[in-house]
Chains A and B, each alone.
Chain A
């Protein structure tokens, strides 16, 4: 069996963990009353979003320079196509979601300052109505991501437990063979 490279595997699970943290943080923080904690969480969420964008850029570069291992020959064509499409969409969302958050921050007049030291330029002028539309866009894109992640994970589990092929294992860290 041919696995993904160790770098690809590490980046995949890193992004998965970052998305889990960022989405949890995002859902939790929005309903809080204004407090120092809320301001902190918002900033952490934004830093995490910028980081996801950067790691996603690294992943994309790695993916383009290191082809993914071939799927087992038993996988039908429609599933190969569905996999390619959903992977492309997942990659796209890794970039579009942080961008929508950045746009939204600009429109709402709360600049993104990466780790509190590196200010990102505002992409649009402060405009509350636009900010509220971007808020909705950010949420909608995230719900789309959630749906795709569920599909992605369900497909991986189906391959492992129903098809009993190596598709999921290709993305799991290699376990040293027992002696």
Chain B
């Protein structure tokens, strides 16, 4: 009985310790296989979702020193993919993203601040179709195996960037709000 307690304590430590969250680590490179940028809009109340198949991100983020963090993301707009060819072709045309003239969208961070716990907020400039607007997006940081994962979302107002001009500016048909979600998984630092 006297030695039962230490044994139990050791048992609990051994069994439960791996389940405790390991601290998220600094990210300096992205594992694109496990990262994605998705979007979701609405037409006539019908959800329309998709992803950007190709983007690149320069990231330096240490959860312990968020203020020192920096991010620069470039999205290849030709990789706009909803799985519906008619929609993809249309959205790349001039009234929408005009990818012929503006092949990429960029985001450059200006500040990252902690919101408490594993939550943070990044601010910066988003440029699409030659128009630059301020953007603030909350994100969370978690550990997934050996990797650190950043996940966040923000609402983009498409008309602020001239996405969908002329008759397509009608927000009764296609909503102004587009939800953008991102998941950036860091390559484990070697």
A113 touches B46 (CB 8 A): yes
Q: Which residue of A lies closest to B84 (CB)?
A: A109
B167 touches A39 (CB 8 A): no
B43 touches A39 (CB 8 A): yes
Q: Which residue of B lies closest to A128 (CB)?
A: B83
B86 touches A43 (CB 8 A): no
A79, CB-defined interface residue at 8 Å: no
A116 touches B45 (CB 8 A): yes
Partner of B44, one of A34, A113, A126: A113
User: With a CB–CB cut-off of 8 A, which chain A residues contact B46?
Assistant: 43, 110-113, 116
User: With a CB–CB cut-off of 8 A, which chain A residues contact B31?
Assistant: none
User: With a CB–CB cut-off of 8 A, which chain B residues contact A35?
Assistant: 167
| Nearest CB of B to A61, in Å | 29
B83 touches A109 (CB 8 A): yes
**Residues of B in contact with A, size category:** 10 to 19
User: With a CB–CB cut-off of 8 A, which chain B residues contact A119?
Assistant: 45, 47
In the assembled complex, the Cα of A113 lies from the Cα of B43 at a distance in Å of 10
A108, CB-defined interface residue at 8 Å: yes
A117, CB-defined interface residue at 8 Å: yes
B134, CB-defined interface residue at 8 Å: no
User: With a CB–CB cut-off of 8 A, which chain B residues contact A126?
Assistant: 83
B55, CB-defined interface residue at 8 Å: no
In the assembled complex, the Cα of A109 lies from the Cα of B81 at a distance in Å of 13
B58, CB-defined interface residue at 8 Å: no
| Chain A, range 12-41, C-beta contacts under 8 Å to B | 34-37, 39-40
A108 touches B84 (CB 8 A): yes
Known: A35-B167, A36-B173. A113 touches B83 (CB 8 A): no
| Nearest CB of A to B96, in Å | 11
Interface mask (B82-99 → A, CB under 8 Å = 1, otherwise 0): 111011001000000000
B44 touches A40 (CB 8 A): yes
Known: A39-B173, A39-B174. A34 touches B86 (CB 8 A): yes
B170, CB-defined interface residue at 8 Å: yes
User: With a CB–CB cut-off of 8 A, which chain A residues contact B47?
Assistant: 111, 113, 119
B102, CB-defined interface residue at 8 Å: no
Interface mask (A94-123 → B, CB under 8 Å = 1, otherwise 0): 000000000000001111110111010000
User: With a CB–CB cut-off of 8 A, which chain A residues contact B174?
Assistant: 36, 39
Q: Which residue of B lies closest to A112 (CB)?
A: B46
B86 touches A36 (CB 8 A): no
